[in-house]
A and B are shown apart, each in its own frame.
Chain A
Amino acid sequence: MLKMHELSITKKLIEMIEKEAKQNKIKTITSVTVELGSLTSYKKEPLSFYFDALKKESALIKKTKLIVNEIKGRLKCESCGEESTIEEPYMIFCPECESYNVGIVKGKDFKILNISGK
């Protein structure tokens, strides 16, 4: 298998959910929900691909469904306070007052929101 960018982060994701499941005495994880920001370097399709390929190797996650909530980036203008969504093609300035004095407030995270199982 090609060692693509998402492979190692998918392995890390599986390691983390398996640890949480064991701590919570879950024997089969039914689903895992993650939040994936559009401004991270990870994408949904390869993540799902590697997750489905790797889950066969573990009894705990054999039947786990990976739910990916994709979140668009958002920025907040430090000059006028306006918040806006970062659409493609990316433009990182305030659409309201055109200031470059902006901060990215959403879209840079890849987080596990929850796991469920029995």
Chain B
Amino acid sequence: MCEECGCNGEKQKDKMIFLDKSVTELNDSIADKTRIFLKEKSILCINIMGAPGSGKTTVIEGIADLIPRKEIAVIQGDLESDVDKKRLEKMNIETFQINTHSGCHLNADMIESAISGMNLDGKKYLFIENVGNLVCPAGVKMGQHINIVISSTTEGSDKPKKYPLVFMDSRLIVISKYDLKDAVDFNEKGYVDDIVKINGRARIIKTSSKDSESFTEMAHFIEHERKHLLEREHEH
């Protein structure tokens, strides 16, 4: 008797099963369903990514001053607390809080479950404010139609070089806290040159919380993106 595997004489051979299956298959299939569901409801779903403190909530507040608030809903992702949810609710914006505890980004099942608890009637825009992080949310499908990165001047102009993946997949890059660029020696030319190398088709918009007019371009951008989404015959 074989001492290694206990077989009688002939050693049992391994059998190989060919799979070719994505490990993110289940997440991606939930994301696909959400994306199609939201399009059918004529809602553009926008995934907002950015470092902690980059101004993600401020940008949503800025847009909410320019677009009817009843047309906006927000899913807030944070490790802990409902600080940002309270900020938005003060502006009468429908907001759902997700606390991931130690989870570093939001997933499709979290969004699916959040949506089932929200009233989206009459909404045109659903913002997903992801967990503050420039690494982990990159490339994760949740049901969003577009990705936006908020990148503040105070973080420094080297961020596209250091975190290319998150910039690569985004339709829009927002340079926030633009009013502080001189105070922090923000190298705008270097920053824009790096964005162009990674994602030459991305739009770049500059915003400042001290200048409410600076959000106008962003409001127009999402209006245009929603129109474009609704015109597309098929949602891939």
Contacts and interface: CB of A to CB of B under 8 A. Distances in A.
Are A and B subunits of one complex?
yes
Contacts of A34: 23
A115 B19 contact: yes
How large, as a class, is the contact surface on chain B?
Answer: 35 or more
Interface-centre pick from B14, B23, B24, B199 (highest chain A CB count, 10 A): B23
Contact of B17 (A13, A93, A110, A114): A114
B15 A24 contact: yes
B119 interface: no
B102 interface: yes
Given A8-B103, A24-B17, A118-B15, A92 B22 contact: no
11 contacts: A3-B103, A9-B24, A34-B23, A39-B139, A41-B138, A92-B200, A110-B24, A114-B17, A115-B19, A116-B17, A117-B15
How large, as a class, is the contact surface on chain A?
Answer: 35 or more
A12 interface: yes
Judged by DSSP, the binding face of B is loop
A16 B168 contact: no
Interface of A: 2-5, 8-9, 12-13, 16, 20-21, 24, 26, 30, 34, 39-41, 89-93, 100-101, 108-118
Closest CB pairs A-B (n = 6): A100-B200, A3-B102, A116-B16, A116-B14, A90-B164, A91-B197
B19 A113 contact: yes
A13 B22 CA distance: 9
Contacts of A39: 139, 165, 168
Contacts of B165: 39, 41
Nearest to A25: B15
B104 interface: yes
B139 A111 contact: no
Contact of B13 (A93, A110, A113, A118): A118
Contacts of B220: none
B22 A109 contact: yes
Contact of B19 (A89, A93, A109, A112): A112
Interface-centre pick from A20, A101, A114 (highest chain B CB count, 10 A): A114
B182 to A, nearest CB: 27
A14 to B, nearest CB: 10
Given A91-B197, A93-B197, A16 B23 contact: yes
A31 to B, nearest CB: 8
Interface string B104-140: 1100000000000000000000000000000111111
B15 A116 contact: yes
